[in-house]
Amino acid sequence: MLSEDRLPNHPALTLTARVLFTHIFILSGVTHFTSVSTYVALMPEAIPFREFWVLVSGVVELAGAGMVLFDRRPRLGAWLIVAFLIPVTVTVHGYEMLHAEDAAMRAIQQASFLKGFALIGAALLITQLGATHRPAPQSS
């Protein structure tokens, strides 16, 4: 069995993880600008200035994802992603999970709600550990 200090630790793996983690935020961030009305329609009507929040969230998503992806202040970038994910997960997916009219849509929103929490957890790990490859400690 491999000891913890002998587990694979490679820069390509770190880069792959950053690409996999951020791709959803980059794609979603871009579509916040190309499909504003779609995102506005997803938000509960009680939220004021919905178009403004869609645009702000797109900027936050893209900035946070770019910081993590390009390893430029990735901890701050991960905090931006957390700041994006918490309100979106609760106000959009949580609300729809509870109020959707049909069972299939409630199930889809529940999956999105749970995915949001998993992504929050991953982003919180990055806020604490960063996203940079660190060579394994050398044995004496």
Cβ atoms of residues 50 and 40 within 8 Å? yes
- Surface-to-core class of residue 123, CB atoms within 10 Å of its CB (0-12 exposed, 13-18 middle, 19+ buried): buried
Task: Encode pLDDT of 71-89 as tens digits.
Answer: 999 999 999 999 999 999 9
- In three-state secondary structure terms, 89 is helix
Band of pLDDT at residue 140, cut at 50, 70 and 90: low
Could you give the CA distance from residue 22 to residue 27 in angstroms, rounded to a whole number? 9
Task: Encode pLDDT of 122-132 as tens digits.
Answer: 999 999 999 88
Band of pLDDT at residue 136, cut at 50, 70 and 90: low
Task: Encode pLDDT of 17-53 as tens digits.
Answer: 999 999 999 999 999 999 999 999 988 899 999 999 9
pLDDT at 132: 85
Q: What is the dihedral of CA 120, 100, 26, 135, to 10 degrees?
A: 20
- In three-state secondary structure terms, 33 is helix
Q: Rounded mean pLDDT of 52-60?
A: 97
